[in-house]
Structure 1
Amino acid sequence: MAEPAKDLGVAPGGNRIGPRDCQPRSAPAVSGIGTGLTGISLERRDGCVCIRLARGEANALTTSLIRELADAVEEAGQGARGSLLAGGGRFFSNGVDLDWALGESRESIREMFLELGRLILALLEAPAPVVGAIRGHAIGAGLAMFLACDYRYAAAGRVLIGKPEILLGVPNPYYGDRLLRFVAGDFAASDLIYSGRLIHAEKGRSLGLVHETGPKAEIEDMAWEKLLSLCDLAPAAFAESKRMRLGRFCADLREQMPARVARQTELWHSDDAQTRLREAAERLRRRTAG
């Protein structure tokens, strides 16, 4: 649900990741996962699974992509020691695909927000560790996915994160708002939500949104090593510790979601929001064409 970050010199993908590179290749997927996928790629290593967004440069989200991600996270949680969530070299994800969303019906948009909520809950409730690794921008719903990971690694430099929904005439979805406040605290989260500003990953680290930053060519290696260290912990103890931390939070999200999504859908289709969203989509088209 965001315009792409302006080109600040972030190189497109293709950086070398190193010996534990989880770029898609012919390695087998975790049993039961990986057939018929169109917007993500999966790879198994060391009993873990790398779930990578792979829908063009921006990894803009549609309902089908969100559903693929949620299904993969839920299935990996049952059959893998842990999961690494990753994206592309320029964008982890730029949020909702505006061009796609503006052509969808009210019911389709409601379904999209419900599926996004399911994805966030799947990440938060995964019993096995989930580590996020971003080499590129994480905007809007892209940041929400990243924040739902147990540990978060981001490339240093001109990698931007933020929640600019308010600039497009719509509020954050309830789960995105609550998650940002849960992770960063009300003071910092309110500033990011009300301003819609984007910040660099290093600033995100100072606010508690990012655990570690590092060179772009190494950040996924760093995240993978962290994932493997978490997988060495007693699985039942880790899962129960996570439930104690997030159980009430997730219960609130699940209880509130139907009514909050209904309101979000209503606001999305307001005249003001539709005007702002269409203007943002047009700016994106001009920027892409240029």
Structure 2
Amino acid sequence: MTIHLAVDDSVAVLTLEHGRGNTLDTATCRELVLKLEEAADGAKAAVLTGSGDMFSAGVDLLSIDAGGAAYVREFLPALSDALLAVFGFPHPLVAAVNGHAIAGGMVLAAGCDHRVAAAGPGRVGVTELLVGVPFPLAATEILRCAYGTNPLAALMYSGATLTIDDALARGLVDEVAAPEEVLGRARELAARLGELPAEAFAHTKAQLRQPYHERIAENRASDDVHVDRMWRSAESLANVKSYVDRVLKR
């Protein structure tokens, strides 16, 4: 099990726990979809967080490096499905960003309705281009919905990771709390939003996100072909291996 689900007072808390970075591999992505469905059935609202002092470092590049092109073909659709399950969650969903939220981890937070970040050394950013691969369309549209195109372009092109204070100033997180208070604050907000009429909330949330869902639905198939090709190319896999060797295995 890589995702723990606990429901208390109609608020579900989903905690990522996979490797040292709470990373996303194929199994974790599939489990996240199932856990979100379970949470939607059993709670009025939910909180998404990470174990320890890390929210999520995004894609499990160690699995990409080990599995190569065959693994990528299986993984990428599972990743998009997981991100869309977060983005399409019908009830209030609050991110308790308890540490680094990098790459796919930042997309998970962006897919939520509100983001509470822990004060301290955590960093927030999207680093895919530094690794040499593009985001799937679902990830880009989720980020666009949360932050807009213009701020997002500079962030993605640079691959910069921002301090929590900078992330707050640029609207990448909505508020900052002491590390020991982040989960409690996120649960408080989720509970408050969960008291709103459920059908009206779900409809309003769907209205706000409809243009992004429509773009994903209309273009995902063709985009997936191009993204899959780039991720599975010899050059990209070599870039991933280089990054893993330089950064993750040191």
Say whether the fold is shared (TM-score over 0.5).
yes
Distance of aligned partners of 1:247 and 1:256 in 2 relative to their CA distance in 1, 3 Å threshold: same
Runs of 5+ unmatched residues, structure 1: 1-37
- Map of 2:11 onto structure 1: 48
1:84 equivalent in alignment to 2:47? yes
Report SS of the residue matched to 2:180.
coil
State the AA in 2 paired with 1:61: L
1:186 lines up with 2:149 in the alignment: yes
Contact 2:111 2:146 in 1 (8 A): no
Mapped partners of 1:189, 1:245: distance in 2: 19
Give the Cα separation in 1 of the matches to 2:127 and 2:68. Answer: 23
Give ranges in structure 2 of 5+ residues lacking alignment.
none
Counterparts of 1:273 and 1:182, CA distance in 2: 27
Q: Is the 8 A contact 1:52 1:86 kept in 2?
A: yes
SS at match of 2:179: coil
Q: How far off is 1:251 after superposition?
A: 2.3
Offset from partner CA, 1:209-236 (integer Å, 9 cap, x none): 2111111111111111000100111111
The amino acid of 1:124's aligned partner reads F
* Over 6 Å off, 4+ runs: none
For 2:41 and 2:156, the matched residues in 1 are separated by: 34
Q: Matches of 1:110 and 1:269 in 2, distance apart?
A: 8
Match of 2:208 in 1: 245
**2:235 maps to 1:272:** yes
Of stretches 134-143 and 111-120 in structure 1, the one that deviates more from structure 2 is: 111-120
Distance 2:230 2:84 in 1: 23
**What is the match of residue 126 of structure 1?**
89
**Number of equivalenced pairs:** 250
Tell me the SS of whatever aligns to 2:67. Answer: coil
Identity %: 31
Scaled by the length of structure 1, the TM-score of the pair is 0.82
Say yes or no: does 1:106 pair with 2:94. no
Q: Specify the alignment match of 2:162 in structure 1.
A: 199
Shift in Å, 1:137: 0.4
Deviations 1:90-137 (A, max 9, x none): 321111111211222534313322112112221222211111101110
Q: Choose from 128, 137, 140 the match for 2:100.
A: 137
CA distance in structure 1 between the partners assigned to 2:221 and 2:227 by the alignment: 10
More helix by share: 2
TM-score, scaled relative to structure 2: 0.94
1:74 aligns with 2:37: yes
Cα displacement (A) at 1:44: 0.9
Secondary structure of the residue that 1:157 maps to in structure 2? Answer: coil
Once the two structures are superposed, residues 33-52 of structure 1 have per-residue CA deviations (whole angstroms, 9 ceiling, x without a partner) of xxxxx111111100121100
Distance 1:255 1:107 in 2: 26
